[in-house]
Amino acid sequence: MISYTVTTTVIGVGIGLSILLLIRHDRLRSPYALWWMAVAVAVIFLGLFPQLVDRLGFWLGIHYPPVLILVLALGLLLLKILTMDLERTHQEQKLRLLAQKVGLLEAELRRLRQAQVKDGHQDGDDDGAEQEAEEEDGGRLQHG
Amino acid sequence: MFEAVLTVIPAYNEARVIALVVRQIRALGLPCLVVDDASTDDTARCAARAGAWVVRHPFRLGAWLAIQTGLHYARLEGFRTVVTLDADGQHLPAHVPDLLGPVCRREADVVVGTCLRRLSFQRRLTCCFWRWLTGLPVRDLTSGFRAYGPRALEFLTAEDHTLLDYQDLGVLLALWRAGFRISEVQVEMAHRLAGRSRVFSSWWEVFRYLLHTGLLGLAKQRRGGSR
């Protein structure tokens, strides 16, 4: 049977290094990178020195120290998920605004193009232009 | 009397009836904007052919966002009042002047057109619950037949209000909390020409709706006085 320190070291260092690698390859953007960096350091540290948990538990008056880690981890995860949903809501708002703006701009563009075609038609330089534009317009509407 | 009024119809897959509704509105001499919420059918083209202006969403955003896009359009084009109607033909354009009355007389910022006779049992129940919860002075909170005055228009086009889901209630609540004057006008409604209510399609939907909007109501109890 191997010592439990080996197991925690392998798990801790594995997780920590994966996070650091992701940050190094720019897969995690700045504010998230900072959070995960802290997680990586903590995981590596606790993996290398699991006795720290016992010591900390003793200081904080917790009879069964491993619970401390579970409670802390759960609390931090909850916090993280909450901030993720906040961020998602914010992004959803921006996405909606953007979509509305695209719709309005498209309508404006269509109107300008029709006006242009009409002007061209009045000048008499291109008889087929209006029909062409209308068809193109219809086609675009259909494709959305 | 009804200068600078735009009618806005949010539409999703209503190609079969949209042209009829648009023509009825145009016959009243009112400009009409159809906001096509990324329909997969010919709604946009049918509406445009019937004489409406059309704005298309690039993907589906829901009924309230479609209405809000209409409100944005109204402000961009200099309209001061907006009347919203459903695309399914149950709101009779003939009643548009009734809705505009209180807004034009500056007696109300928002007018809701209600038809109590047409309220289903589920709808009555949810509305009762809602009035009890929020104190909103409207009997049919779910009606999409509404007139918005200039101040309401300005208020509702703010960025914060892009996240008002459950448009019927969320919007009224936001207005109510901000102290806008909301009033109600009795109107006749026709039977839907097509489709059916998406909100009250089953008891499960009613439950879900109550849960979501109940939370909304509790979270946004009105504080302070009137504007």
ipTM for the assembly: 0.80
Say yes or no to pLDDT of A11 above 90. Answer: no
Q: What is the pTM of this model?
A: 0.78
Question: Inter-chain contact A96–B48, Cβ cutoff 8 Å?
Answer: no
The confidence score (pLDDT) of residue B96 equals 87
**CB-based contact, B161 to chain A, within 8 Å:** no
Closest CA to B159 of B40, B85, B72: B72
* CB-based contacts of B80, cutoff 8 Å, min separation 6: B4, B5, B74, B149, B150, B153
What pLDDT digit, counting tens, does each position of B94-104 carry? 888 888 888 88
Question: Inter-chain contact A99–B54, Cβ cutoff 8 Å?
Answer: no
* CB-based contacts of B22, cutoff 8 Å, min separation 6: B9, B32, B34, B47, B50, B51, B52
Chain B residue with minimal CA distance to A97? B162
Mean pLDDT computed over every residue of chain B: 83
DSSP 3-state of A3: coil
Least confident of A13-17, A40-44, A122-126, B36-40: A122-126
The confidence score (pLDDT) of residue A108 equals 92
Average the pLDDT over B193-218 and give the result.
Answer: 69
What is the side-by-side strand order in the sheet with B32-36? B53-56, B32-36, B5-11, B81-84, B146-148, B110-114, B182-186
The token duo for B43 is 């709604």
Q: What is the secondary structure of B89-139 as a DSSP string?
A: S-B-GGGHHHHHHHHHTTS-SEEEEE-GGG--HHHHHHHHHHHHHH--S-S
Q: What is the secondary structure of chain B as a DSSP string?
A: --TTEEEEEEESS-TTTHHHHHHHHHHTT--EEEEE-S-SSSHHHHHHHTT-EEEE-SS---HHHHHHHHHHHHHHTT--EEEE--TTS-B-GGGHHHHHHHHHTTS-SEEEEE-GGG--HHHHHHHHHHHHHH--S-S-TT---EEE-HHHHHHHTSGGGGG--SHHHHHHHHHHHTT--EEEEE--BPPPSS---STTSSHHHHHHHHHHHHHHHHHT---S---
| A141 interaction partners in chain B (CB closer than 8 Å) | 44-45, 48, 54, 56
Question: Inter-chain contact B58–A99, Cβ cutoff 8 Å?
Answer: yes
DSSP 3-state of A49: coil
Question: Inter-chain contact A107–B159, Cβ cutoff 8 Å?
Answer: no
**CB-based contact, B3 to chain A, within 8 Å:** no
Residue A139 — pLDDT band, cuts 50, 70, 90? very low
What number of other Cβ atoms are within 10 A of residue B27's Cβ?
A: 11
Question: Inter-chain contact A107–B53, Cβ cutoff 8 Å?
Answer: yes
What pLDDT digit, counting tens, does each position of A110-119 carry? 989 988 888 8
The residue ranking higher by pLDDT, A104 or A8, is A104
Say yes or no to pLDDT of A142 above 80. Answer: no
Say yes or no to pLDDT of B199 above 60. Answer: no
Chain A nearest-CA distance from B54, in A, is 7
CATH architecture observed for domain B5-219: Alpha-Beta Complex (3.90)
Say yes or no to pLDDT of B83 above 50. Answer: yes
Chain B nearest-CA distance from A32, in A, is 25
Quick one: what percent of chain B has pLDDT higher than 90?
Answer: 29
What pLDDT digit, counting tens, does each position of A39-92 carry? 888 888 888 888 888 888 888 888 888 888 888 899 999 999 999 999 999 999
Say yes or no to pLDDT of B37 above 80. Answer: yes
Strands B110-114, B146-148: pairing kind: antiparallel
Q: Can you say whether the dihedral through the CA atoms of B212, B214, B218, B220 is positive or negative?
A: positive
> Phi and psi at residue A69, in whole multiples of 5°?
-60, -45
The confidence score (pLDDT) of residue B166 equals 62
Domain ranges of chain B: 5-219
